[in-house]
Structure 1
Amino acid sequence: MNDALKSCPFTLNTTRICAYDELDTSIEISKIGFNNMKPNAVILVNKDEVFDGIAATSLVHFPINASLLFTDGNSLNEKTLGEIERLSPKGYNGVQVILVGNISKNVSFALNDHGYRTKHISGRNYYDTACIISRIRKEFNNILIISGEDYSEGIIAGYWSAHHGDPILFVQRNRIPNCTIDAIKKMNDINIYIIGSTKTISKDVEYYLSGLDNVKKVDRIGGENPYEIAVNFSRYNDTKTDFGWGRNYRGGHAFTFGQLNEPMKIIASVVFAHMGKHTPLLLIEKDKIPEVVNRYINLIKPIQPKGMPKPPFMHGFILGDVSNISYKAQKMIEGMLSIDQHMMNNENMEGMTGKMKDNVMNVDKENMIMNNGMQDMNENIEHDSIYDKDYIFEWRNLGYRKVNVDEIL
């Protein structure tokens, strides 16, 4: 096996995005997402600015329909320029490249010299920049609130913003910046979704937002850790406001898998949420799949009847080579996503007797009970949000129970 295959191995139900660094990752993903069509614009972000990147994700969505690329903070990277030239963006309101946040004017000048029309969206800091972006988006009914101090719980929000166009605003744990308050107050009948636990965004912030006259609803998607929060967001759906992925049923689902110590690679991959398989983000570790992710995937993946395998199938995009996410972890992802293993178990049932057969049947029974509980939750969500102020549904091996939110958050 050559070095490339060793660092970027294949499995049946996964696609690895292998690149030298986050800048190259953004280029590779742009090539995948826009291989046979032109974007209206390119969004350009400093490769070292995580929160600028998160704020920029809503600009990827229509009507801008943009590729998201990175560059150096003080100069235009030659490889990035090469990808912009390949993309040949058509232009959105006369602009072909939109620079976001902390990037030197030298980058705009270099792009202008190459014939590209540019616009620079930047405030005094990334809090301000996010507020400016929310005004540019204009038409939306929902906004996402995440921590501007710790990206670990809120970075998943960028995938929904790229998918649906809802903008992201930043707060601190116990304080809401003035620009964020002003931006919200200027919105009409807005729904607010807090992404993160009370470890990063306090209940006081939530209560303040709930008290604003123009805010129709405030809901929190939380959890014990970033892995659980990502799962909870993936299955969340508010049918009244058209918010949330709603990946809470058995079917052919696709996800992007990333790890938190590579945040810019995660941000670069939001195009996968905007186009193609429209993937939510699930978080994993280099050599390990968190149990909450494993349980979730096994709950929603399709169970094939006997006979010839047929769609729907599952798929996963893996961000980085084996130095970022190991081959061991990739094989675990493959095992979670594959429908073949379950079919083989069913086909081998005839060869099992006694306790072995009972064990396999018990696993299927548990999955069935959990899936029925998930369907009940989805049917009742219009009446009782799973993240309302008083309660949250907590999943267990044999379904869910209703517990006080203070036990969980």
Structure 2
Amino acid sequence: MSERYHPALYQASTTATTRILGWDPVSCAIGITQTVYPAARPNAVLLARPDYYPEVLAATRLMHHPFDAALLFTEDDRLEDSVSRELIRLSPRGQGLPGHVIVIGAMHARTLHDLADLGFTPWPLSGQDLWETVEQIADLELGEHHGHALLVSADPSAGGTVAGGYAAHTGAPILFASEQGLYPSTVRFLKKRPRTRVFVASPEARLSAKLSSDIRDLGSKLEAWVGGADPYDMAVKFAKFRHKSRFGWGRREGSKAPVTLVPMEPWPIGAAASALSYRGKFTPLLLTKRDALADPVEDFLRTLGSRGDAESPQGHGFIVGGFELVSYPVQMRMHRALTE
């Protein structure tokens, strides 16, 4: 049985790592909003259930201006007390929007009543099914994505969560595909917007090899496929990637640029962590297992480190989740990679 680590015995943060505590998607999302919005008020709050990956990941683009939204989760048929308290603390302004709280997808009627009882106006953003909701989110005009769109696998195990950080950073829409091809919502989006520059973020084995021709047939272009051997490797390549059109993070050796490490599972934690990619630190997302830091991730972190120069500032990384989600040994490996 693995040893249990607790903040009473092990510090949650180090000089090179800041851990945002939480034990599940609901508590981690609250920890992130308290970190990103400790004093300022967001313009809106996204309220979603941590059940439907495409809806939640697509909604990360609404963290960008002018929505400037924080993301909270609810799992019950009514608002959890902790979520209600955080909503009151955040007190979203709702400036220029139909409501203070953007409700993503289907939500229990009691939850909507709870929002009203707290004095918030809900703005339901929901279609007939989750794919129509995804399409509605992609159709909203915002950001500075310059005709770019991200395309990921609809299976969260492919690591497309990392695209949420860049969507939050730029407002770029997120589209979906599978091994069988483009989803109908993606086809409809590209038909409405010919000449879209599509960037794929997925290991090559997880999506159809016909994507390029399918996208071309719709009048757009697959500009680049950021792949890798697995989701962990892909996340590193995505953090490094920079296109001539200025799409991508472009993190380079010795940059000291901060990053955020999130657990591969549960995936909603990575979606909530996308807020760190937009406000404050502008961090790309990297993925980890609970008890193991993948070699490509550790190697990449090492390139961001201090290079042994005592006069040089260290690299820095956020870790989202308590010790039961991202273990203390993984944090120590991250710390050493950034400092040695």
TM-score, normalising length: structure 1 = 0.77
CA distance in 2, matches of 1:147, 1:7: 37
In structure 2, relative to structure 1, the CA distance for the partners of 1:149 and 1:216 (3 Å cut) is closer
Gaps of 5+ in 1: 342-409
Partner of 1:97: 101
In structure 2, relative to structure 1, the CA distance for the partners of 1:301 and 1:99 (3 Å cut) is same
CA distance in 1, matches of 2:330, 2:126: 39
In structure 2, relative to structure 1, the CA distance for the partners of 1:124 and 1:6 (3 Å cut) is farther
After superposition, what is the alpha-carbon deviation per residue over 1:7-29, rounded to whole angstroms, capped at 9, x for unaligned?
A: 65332210111123210111111
Partner of 2:336: 335
Conservation of the 8 A alpha-carbon contact between 1:73 and 1:103: no
In structure 2, relative to structure 1, the CA distance for the partners of 1:3 and 1:177 (3 Å cut) is closer
Partner of 2:73: 70
Partner of 1:60: 63
Q: Which range moved further: 244-253 or 130-139?
A: 130-139
Q: Which range moved further: 174-183 or 61-70?
A: 174-183
CA distance in 1, matches of 2:7, 2:253: 37
Partner of 2:182: 176
Cα deviation for residue 73 of structure 1 reads: 4.8
After superposition, what is the alpha-carbon deviation per residue over 1:76-126, rounded to whole angstroms, capped at 9, x for unaligned?
A: 222111111111111132421001123223322221232211111112333
Aligned pair 1:309/2:311, yes or no? yes
Cα deviation for residue 192 of structure 1 reads: 0.4
Partner of 2:265: 261
Conservation of the 8 A alpha-carbon contact between 1:48 and 1:73: no
Q: What SS does the corresponding residue of 1:297 show, helix, strand or coil?
A: helix
Conservation of the 8 A alpha-carbon contact between 1:73 and 1:102: no
CA distance in 1, matches of 2:44, 2:206: 33
Q: What SS does the corresponding residue of 2:186 show, helix, strand or coil?
A: helix
Q: What amino acid does structure 2 have at the position aligned with 1:39?
A: P
CA distance in 2, matches of 1:304, 1:260: 30
CA distance in 2, matches of 1:62, 1:115: 24
Conservation of the 8 A alpha-carbon contact between 1:127 and 1:180: no
Partner of 1:202: 208
CA distance in 2, matches of 1:317, 1:277: 10
In structure 2, relative to structure 1, the CA distance for the partners of 1:8 and 1:209 (3 Å cut) is farther
Conservation of the 8 A alpha-carbon contact between 2:262 and 2:273: no
Q: 1:276 aligns with which of 268, 277, 280?
A: 280
CA distance in 2, matches of 1:218, 1:210: 10
Which of 1 and 2 has higher RCO (CA within 8 Å, sep 6+)? 2
Aligned pair 1:323/2:327, yes or no? no
Gaps of 5+ in 2: none
Conservation of the 8 A alpha-carbon contact between 1:130 and 1:170: no
CA distance in 1, matches of 2:312, 2:260: 22
Q: What amino acid does structure 1 have at the position aligned with 2:323?
A: V
Count residues with an aligned counterpart.
333
Partner of 1:370: none
Partner of 1:236: 241
Conservation of the 8 A alpha-carbon contact between 1:59 and 1:137: no
Aligned pair 1:46/2:49, yes or no? yes
Q: What SS does the corresponding residue of 1:4 show, helix, strand or coil?
A: coil
Partner of 2:16: 13
Cα deviation for residue 270 of structure 1 reads: 1.1
CA distance in 2, matches of 1:304, 1:251: 14
Instruction: Tell which structure's C-alpha radius of gyration is larger.
Output: 1
After superposition, what is the alpha-carbon deviation per residue over 1:304-331, rounded to whole angstroms, capped at 9, x for unaligned?
A: 65xx5243x3111112222222211111
Cα deviation for residue 35 of structure 1 reads: 0.8
CA distance in 2, matches of 1:137, 1:127: 18
After superposition, what is the alpha-carbon deviation per residue over 1:347-371, rounded to whole angstroms, capped at 9, x for unaligned?
A: xxxxxxxxxxxxxxxxxxxxxxxxx
Partner of 1:159: 165
How much identity, in percent, do the aligned residues show? 28
CA distance in 2, matches of 1:199, 1:43: 32
CA distance in 2, matches of 1:267, 1:150: 11
CA distance in 2, matches of 1:79, 1:123: 28
CA distance in 2, matches of 1:20, 1:293: 23
Cα deviation for residue 54 of structure 1 reads: 0.8
Q: What SS does the corresponding residue of 2:205 show, helix, strand or coil?
A: coil
Conservation of the 8 A alpha-carbon contact between 1:147 and 1:200: yes
Partner of 1:117: 121
Q: 2:230 aligns with which of 222, 225, 230?
A: 225
Conservation of the 8 A alpha-carbon contact between 1:29 and 1:269: yes
Cα deviation for residue 216 of structure 1 reads: 4.3
CA distance in 1, matches of 2:188, 2:52: 24
In structure 2, relative to structure 1, the CA distance for the partners of 1:322 and 1:98 (3 Å cut) is same
Conservation of the 8 A alpha-carbon contact between 1:315 and 1:337: yes
Q: What SS does the corresponding residue of 2:185 show, helix, strand or coil?
A: helix
CA distance in 2, matches of 1:337, 1:188: 43
Conservation of the 8 A alpha-carbon contact between 1:127 and 1:169: no
In structure 2, relative to structure 1, the CA distance for the partners of 1:227 and 1:304 (3 Å cut) is same
CA distance in 1, matches of 2:164, 2:243: 18
